[in-house]
Amino acid sequence: MDSQLFVRDLLAWYETDKRDLPWRKDADPYRVWVSEVMLQQTRVDTVIPYFERFMDLFPTVAALANASEGDVVKAWEGLGYYSRVRNLQQAVREVSERYNGIVPDSFEAMTSLRGVGPYTAGAVLSIAYGKPLAAVDGNVLRVISRLHKIEEDIAKPATKKQVEAYVSRIVPHDQASAFNQALMELGALVCTARTPRCESCPVARHCVARAAGCQARLPVKAAKKPARREHYAVLLLRRQDGSLAVLQRPDKGLLRGLWQLPMVAVEDAVASPDEIRQQVQGCLADYGIAESLEVGGVYTHAFTHLHWTLRVVRTDLLDGATGGDWIFSDAMDRAQMTFGRIFQIILQQWASDPESRPERKGGEQLALFHD
């Protein structure tokens, strides 16, 4: 195929059909960088409101470098992959100190920064500085695998390297920004994962998979193993002054450093209230808590590699009660803390009506069966 013609057709389409996105208003390296980190494994529609808010709060390298980590993570709350924002702030602080606040313009300097891998470095440097580098994300892998009918597993590093090498060869040196964004835009709008819109594709005439009629089964990707399952009772422990027990997760691993409600592992979170009450009571006895436990609804929360089934359990404590690693906080405190999404959901429901019996998420009747 003629790569020159492909590039020309792609760029012509991008000029007329590109979306108007907040981070495309200018090419400020810092804004581009923040957008690229937010967009890692995250859809455009999800990112937009977070991006606007984040740029209002931390409009410059200096603003983010000087902010407290707590405020920065709070601004990220709900976006997921929280190490992204901790790494981003660490990297921005390094830019502030070592590079006088100027985002470096070399691939080596960029990739040496925390949280900046080959994709993000290529994207920031091409979009903000016009450097003719590849920026291969999931969209580009899919587009190129179809374009060239690549049948190897795109999850393999070797396949990604092959695609990076190809894109590096064809990226036009005077339009690297538009070209890289055009490849991704095509993947997001036309060459989508399911049912690609080949009829309206501006580069369909260059596509080998399309010619062979196999575009729907590309790219090839190995199946991943099923997520681990864990069951917990989530505790709403309320003191008479209205405060609630919360605790901070360990400084490593899942949701590290974020706040959560106390949880105790149970055999089966969908078991009968009596069964749940018995198991939870056994754990809380260590803290001298023997009040009556009210067993509420079931929540499920899916992480990429982990699936939680949760059962809400509520009780009132005597003032002065302490236990475990938890502290008692009021609504004002909690507004400053960063919680994992599932705890936000449970807490919001609690805040809206602390007296209500927590219902099953979605309001369906509680089903007493294993998942």
Point out the residues that are catalytic: 36
Q: Toward DNA, which CB reaches closer, 24 or 239? A: 24
Residue 238 within binding range of DNA, rule CB under 7 A: no
What's the length of the chain?
A: 371
Residue 22 within binding range of DNA, rule CB under 7 A: no
Residue 226 within binding range of DNA, rule CB under 7 A: yes
Residue reference for tokens 């991008």: 14
Residue 217 within binding range of DNA, rule CB under 7 A: no
Whether the link from the prior residue into 172 is cis, omega within 30° of 0, is no
List 25, 225, 320, 353, residue binding DNA (CB under 7 A): 225
Least distance (Å) between residue 241 CB and DNA: 28
Q: Toward DNA, which CB reaches closer, 142 or 311? A: 142
Least distance (Å) between residue 274 CB and DNA: 24
Least distance (Å) between residue 184 CB and DNA: 5
List 238, 307, 360, 361, residue binding DNA (CB under 7 A): 307
Beta bridge partners of 237: 315
Nearest in space to 29 (alpha carbons), one of 84, 98, 105: 105
**Residues contacting 334, CB < 8 A, separation 6+:** 244, 246, 259, 347
Beta bridge partners of 306: 228
Q: Toward DNA, which CB reaches closer, 167 or 342? A: 342
Q: How many binding residues for DNA (CB under 7 A)?
A: 64
Residue 41 within binding range of DNA, rule CB under 7 A: yes
What's at 339, amino acid-wise?
F
Least distance (Å) between residue 176 CB and DNA: 14
Structure tokens at 5: 């013609």
Instruction: Identify residues 185-204 at the interface with DNA (CB under 7 A).
Output: 185, 187-188, 193-194
Residue 370 within binding range of DNA, rule CB under 7 A: no
Q: Toward DNA, which CB reaches closer, 39 or 317? A: 39
Instruction: Identify residues 115-174 at the interface with DNA (CB under 7 A).
Output: 115-121, 123, 137-139, 142, 156-158
Residue reference for tokens 């599932």: 342
Residue reference for tokens 């902010």: 67
285 Ramachandran zone, left/alpha/beta (phi>0; psi -120 to 50): alpha
Strands 244-248 and 327-329: antiparallel
Least distance (Å) between residue 43 CB and DNA: 5
Instruction: Identify residues 247-286 at the interface with DNA (CB under 7 A).
Output: 253-256
Residue 362 within binding range of DNA, rule CB under 7 A: no
Give the CA dihedral 206, 209, 215, 218, nearest 10 degrees.
-120
Least distance (Å) between residue 158 CB and DNA: 6
Q: Is 288 exposed, middle or buried (0-12, 13-18, 19+ CB in 10 A)?
A: exposed
Tell me how crowded residue 17 is: count the other CB atoms within 10 A of its CB.
Answer: 14
Strands 306-317 and 228-239: parallel
Measure the CA–CA gap between 177 and 125, rounded to whole angstroms.
Answer: 8
Instruction: Identify residues 45-74 at the interface with DNA (CB under 7 A).
Output: 45-46
Structure tokens at 57: 């709060």
Show the site string, 74-103: x = touches DNA by CB under 7 A, - = not.
----xxxxxx---x----------------
Residue ranges that bind DNA, judged by CB under 7 A: 21, 35-36, 39-46, 78-83, 87, 111, 114-121, 123, 137-139, 142, 156-158, 181, 184-185, 187-188, 193-194, 221, 223-227, 253-256, 300-307, 340-342, 371
